[in-house]
Amino acid sequence: MDGKDDLPRFSPSAGHAIRFHFGELKDLKDGIRSHVRIDFKGNVHKTFRGHEKAQRCENEVRILRALETRSCPYVPRLLEHHLEQHYIVTTNCGRPAPDISRPKSDALFADLESEYGVRHDDPEPRNITYCQQLGRFCLIDFELATLLPEPAKAQYRTREVWRVNWSSRSEGGTLRESNDDAFLALELGPQRAKKHEAHGEALLQPSHLVLAVSDGMGGGSAGELASRLVLSWVKRNSAELYQTLQEATEDCRATALGRLMREAHSGLNDLAAQEPSLKGMGATLTLVWLAPGGLSFAHIGDSRLYLQRSGKTTQLTRDHSHVWAEWKRGDITEYVYRTHPRRSALSDALGGGHPNIQPQIEFHPLLSGDRLILCTDGITDGLWERGFAAELSSSAEAKECSFQVLQRARENSSVDDATLIVADIAEL
């Protein structure tokens, strides 16, 4: 992504503005239990330390996910999480508020429990900030918190009808004759499943929409076969998934999508074991399940899912790549990441002869005006962060936006296959 935005200013607790250079992280807290830093965009990077750091990190991820699903407006938003490194990135909720009164502090924590079903087990003023942008106090640090059943009055309200307009494009690279990428757009309803072509529109009531991209790997024709087999498996199991996901809880959705990923993984490995020419065959998969008011996604590899919301572009998926994780932790710059010889080495993918996988599976609420993009690495190879965000911020409709993104990416890099789906969400 070609260039960097003008660097924003962040006011720390001392009240003095500091301008950060790209790639620098400024220490906010360096303690026994955590190391907290802030990046040039104002996002908070937290590395857990000490006793039960893995459990505390996992708990904070779970709590922040639940609070986002329950639409709590005064807590940080989880942007990234790397459980194996005990590390998360969240949005910034402002300055510490040490002078808040005890009655006001107690009322904030009580409201969190009664309205959103989360009991903060460290209800102290040190876990309260003041966000000038929101004009209110906020709550932070949920490593010590308990998730309770969601109060009935705070349950997420789905709208009557949601509309999705999408556009898909795929183009082979110059490295080989075949195109190892594949995409899928599948509309599901009570009576039928309808496979769409490159562009389309769907209403999410009672229908659901599945969008997916896959990048195959392996010598000869193995990569092309792998990506198509994976999406065929998704299609064959879609009717059963529709019945499961239609009224499922978040845990049930995760279980169903996880089972789908594991079965596709086993299928690729079994086929490769029977045919020597397919040895090492594997594929990435980024799958989005769109239902009224929310999306579930299942992901493995280095294809990606981005969300464009209110002018901000967020990568919802994380690349299964050690070099990508180094970049996101701030250990290396984007330039070093993009020129790294091991950048495309994946730590997890479907097939490839590996016995086990750990796919990323999450649920996120939808807002009217959201834009999603699923893409393989042939797209992100050609667009740096800033350029990618600029293309997605275009006011053009999905069909024009997908064309512009593909064209811009290919101008900069045309070696690898490139596939993307742009989807615009609206409530009616």
DSSP string, 43-66: -EEEEE-STTHHHHHHHHHHHHHH
Do residues 408 and 389 make contact, with C-beta atoms less than 8 angstroms apart? no
Cα separation, 62 vs 267, in Å, equals 31
Last residue of a domain, one of 121, 154, 187: 154
Task: State the pLDDT at residue 160.
Answer: 64
Same domain, 117 and 232: no
Same domain, 40 and 173: no
Please indicate, yes or no, if residue 340 is contained in any of the structural domains. Answer: yes
Do residues 362 and 314 make contact, with C-beta atoms less than 8 angstroms apart? no
Cα separation, 273 vs 187, in Å, equals 33
- Give me the mean pLDDT over the 37-59 stretch: 92
Q: State pLDDT tens for residues 212-236.
A: 999 998 877 788 999 999 999 999 8
Please indicate, yes or no, if residue 376 is contained in any of the structural domains. Answer: yes
Same domain, 109 and 207: no
| DSSP symbols for 5-45 | PPPPEE--TT---EEPPTT--EEEEE-SSEEEEE-TTS-EE
Number of structural domains, the chain? 2
- Give me the mean pLDDT over the 154-173 stretch: 76
Look at residue 92 and tell me whether its pLDDT is greater than 50: yes
Task: State the pLDDT at residue 36.
Answer: 94
Question: Can you give the residue range of the structural domain that contains 284?
Answer: 162-427
Q: Is the pTM of this model over 0.75?
A: no
Cα separation, 87 vs 143, in Å, equals 12
Same domain, 179 and 301: yes
Please indicate, yes or no, if residue 180 is contained in any of the structural domains. Answer: yes
More confident residue, 261 or 105: 261
Task: State the pLDDT at residue 164.
Answer: 95
Look at residue 49 and tell me whether its pLDDT is greater than 90: yes
Q: State pLDDT tens for residues 354-411.
A: 888 999 999 998 988 999 999 999 999 888 888 888 888 888 999 999 999 999 999 9
Same domain, 106 and 172: no
Task: Identify any residues that bridge with 188 across adjacent strands, giving them in sequence order.
Answer: 193, 208
Please indicate, yes or no, if residue 1 is contained in any of the structural domains. Answer: no
More confident residue, 23 or 275: 275
Same domain, 306 and 423: yes
Model confidence at 248, pLDDT cuts 50, 70, 90, reads low
Same domain, 24 and 47: yes
Task: State the pLDDT at residue 302.
Answer: 93
Please indicate, yes or no, if residue 2 is contained in any of the structural domains. Answer: no
Same domain, 319 and 231: yes
The distance of Cα 297 from the centroid of its chain, to the nearest Å, equals: 8
Same domain, 308 and 379: yes
Please indicate, yes or no, if residue 4 is contained in any of the structural domains. Answer: no
The region of weakest confidence among 145-149, 194-198, 350-354 is 194-198
The residues, any chain, with a CB within 8 Å of residue 52's CB and separated by 6 or more, are: none
The SS3 of residue 186 is: strand
Last residue of a domain, one of 87, 119, 154: 154
In one-letter notation, the amino acid at residue 411 is E
Q: State pLDDT tens for residues 294-345.
A: 899 999 999 999 999 988 899 999 999 999 889 888 898 888 988 898 888 8
Cα separation, 234 vs 272, in Å, equals 19
Same domain, 315 and 392: yes
Model confidence at 286, pLDDT cuts 50, 70, 90, reads very high
Model confidence at 425, pLDDT cuts 50, 70, 90, reads very high
Please indicate, yes or no, if residue 98 is contained in any of the structural domains. Answer: yes
Mean pLDDT, all residues of the chain? 85
The residues, any chain, with a CB within 8 Å of residue 284's CB and separated by 6 or more, are: 213, 214, 215, 217, 300, 301, 302, 303, 346, 349, 350, 376
Q: Which CATH number do you get for residue 86?
A: 1.10.510.10
Last residue of a domain, one of 104, 121, 154: 154
Look at residue 155 and tell me whether its pLDDT is greater than 70: no
Same domain, 166 and 96: no
Task: State the pLDDT at residue 134.
Answer: 66
Model confidence at 57, pLDDT cuts 50, 70, 90, reads very high
Report the half-sphere exposure of 57 (CA within 13 A, side-chain side): 24
Q: State pLDDT tens for residues 1-10.
A: 333 333 333 3
Same domain, 21 and 60: yes
Look at residue 176 and tell me whether its pLDDT is greater than 50: yes
Q: Which CATH number do you get for residue 218?
A: 3.60.40.10
Q: State pLDDT tens for residues 107-149.
A: 889 989 988 999 999 999 999 998 876 668 899 999 999 999 8
Please indicate, yes or no, if residue 246 is contained in any of the structural domains. Answer: yes
